[in-house]
Amino acid sequence: MLARLHLVRQFELSIISCGDAGMELGASIITLLKSLGKEMHKSLGINSGRIDPDLDKVFKKYVSIDPDTGGFAHDLTSATAIAGSSYETLNKSIGGILPSKNGILMITVGGGGTGIASAMVVLKILREIYQQTPPVFLLLPEVFENSRVHYNVSQFLYHTVYSNNPIGNPVIVIDNKATEGEYKEPFDVVAKRRMEIIPKAIANLLYSAFTKPRYEEYNAEFRDFSEVIHTSGIGVLVAKDLENDQGELNLRFDDILFDSITEITSLPREKIAEARKVFISILNVDMQQFQFTVEAKKIKALFKDTSPYLIFADSEEEESKRPTLNAIVTGLPLPPRVIQIMKIARESRKDMIFKEMEGLEVVSNLDTERVATLEEEIENSYLKYS
């Protein structure tokens, strides 16, 4: 195989983080990248309430859509009305943080009222004024969380991905749902762990995309990463340690990757193989050439319509150089996990949803009948895949 020339570009990333969870994720990504020697110069935090001094140090710009409220208790109706009135303020701040043509812009958000409402305004501004539809990293709620959060996330996914005329941003979902190994742990422990693992995975992926590969044959880079995260539809973020607590390595990359995506999406293997784009970074693995070649080939053979971009690299972390596999897989068939969230939202909030929709500016152009049949439609379209 002919190795192409690997160009290590200048690192240029802008991030817009909405709501408490979105800002926490964004702040950790920025801080981690800085510790890896990749400084970000353009970032915007959006929240309600006054700025948290610790976060203020991290974000270059901050907008509060309502300084007098500490949050909207996940209420999308009130948050949407207020976020909409911040259109001009947000527009000014967004104009100042956009990256150049070669840079990457990304958005982070959780399912709260402030986060989802302001993210919807941000996406509107980016599309209307700047003709951009950057990727959104969306934190999905655990199944027993407040139904409002499920409703917010459903609304967001509907408008960005599933409606007849979607805004069109790729949505890369990251999940609060406990994995098999986590079911016995309390939710706050799992939730806290997510806030550590997710930013770390995103930082690692970005770091890899902008760094020199260890092997020239597996030399995924910035433009591949950019292509993958800009592929429309639903994507997932994979974050796996390859070493267990006893220091044993698991090098079955294909199983690790597929099991992890199955856990997040509930999609079966053959459906995951239909993903349109895949970027995989394997960091800090020290192994014989023939082994990684075999493993890499296995991964490449597993995806039907795409050949994954793959990079083996070393991080510049000072303390622990843990072997890790991180990936972003985009353009997936409709994940059952998304249907589950829409179902929870609909079952518990059907009446509320219709009442709320009457007052919602952002969704006022929604066809209510269509929303009512959305779940059924989605299930039917899912049948194709099951």
Nearer to ligand GTP, 77 or 176 (CB): 176
The C-alpha torsion from 140 through 145 and 149 to 150, rounded to 10°, is 70
- Is residue 20 involved in binding ligand GTP (CB under 6 A)? yes
**Cα–Cα dist 306/300, whole Å:** 8
**Diameter of the chain by CA atoms?**
62
Which member of 38, 74, 124, 159 binds ligand GTP (CB under 6 A)? 74
Which member of 13, 14, 20, 332 binds Mg ion (CB under 5 A)? 20
**Cα–Cα dist 239/327, whole Å:** 7
**Cα–Cα dist 283/323, whole Å:** 5
Beta-bridged to residue 46, according to DSSP, are: 18, 63
Beta-bridged to residue 283, according to DSSP, are: 313, 324
- Least Å distance, CB 115 to ligand GTP, is 3
DSSP 219-244: B--HHHHHHHHTSSSEEEEEEEESB-
- Is residue 337 involved in binding ligand GTP (CB under 6 A)? no
What is the spatial order of strands in the sheet that 309-313 belongs to? 61-66, 42-48, 13-18, 104-109, 136-140, 171-175, 234-241, 324-332, 277-283, 309-313
- Least Å distance, CB 50 to ligand GTP, is 13
Helix (H) or strand (E) holding 340: helix 336-359
Question: For residue 214, what are the contacts with CB-CB under 8 A and spacing of at least 6?
Answer: 312, 313, 314
Q: Which of 63, 136, 127, 131 is nearest to 105 (CA)?
A: 136
352: partner contacted, choices ligand GTP, Mg ion, none (Cβ within 5-8 A by kind): none
- Is residue 71 involved in binding Mg ion (CB under 5 A)? yes
240: partner contacted, choices ligand GTP, Mg ion, none (Cβ within 5-8 A by kind): none
Q: Give the x-and-dash track for 96-135 against ligand GTP (CB under 6 A).
A: --------------xxxxxx--------------------
Instruction: Note the residue count of the chain.
Output: 386
- Is residue 202 involved in binding ligand GTP (CB under 6 A)? no
- Least Å distance, CB 116 to ligand GTP, is 7
Nearer to Mg ion, 64 or 204 (CB): 64
Strands 104-109 and 136-140: parallel
- Is residue 221 involved in binding Mg ion (CB under 5 A)? no
Nearer to ligand GTP, 112 or 308 (CB): 112
Q: Give the x-and-dash track for 297-326 against ligand GTP (CB under 6 A).
A: ------------------------------
Helices (H), 75-216: 76-85, 87-95, 113-130, 147-157, 187-209
Nearer to ligand GTP, 74 or 124 (CB): 74
Across 271-282, b (16+ Cβ under 10 Å) vs e yields: bbbebbbbbbbb
Strands 171-175 and 13-18: unpaired
- Is residue 374 involved in binding ligand GTP (CB under 6 A)? no
Nearer to ligand GTP, 99 or 141 (CB): 141
Nearer to Mg ion, 114 or 306 (CB): 114
**Which stretch, 111-119, 164-172, 195-203, 323-331, contacts Mg ion (CB under 5 A)?**
111-119
- Is residue 224 involved in binding Mg ion (CB under 5 A)? no
Q: Give the x-and-dash track for 154-183 against ligand GTP (CB under 6 A).
A: ----------------------x-------
Q: Which residues are at the interface with ligand GTP (CB under 6 A)?
A: 19-22, 48, 71-74, 79, 110-115, 139, 141, 145, 149, 176, 191, 194-195
Which residues contact Mg ion by CB under 5 A? 20, 71, 114
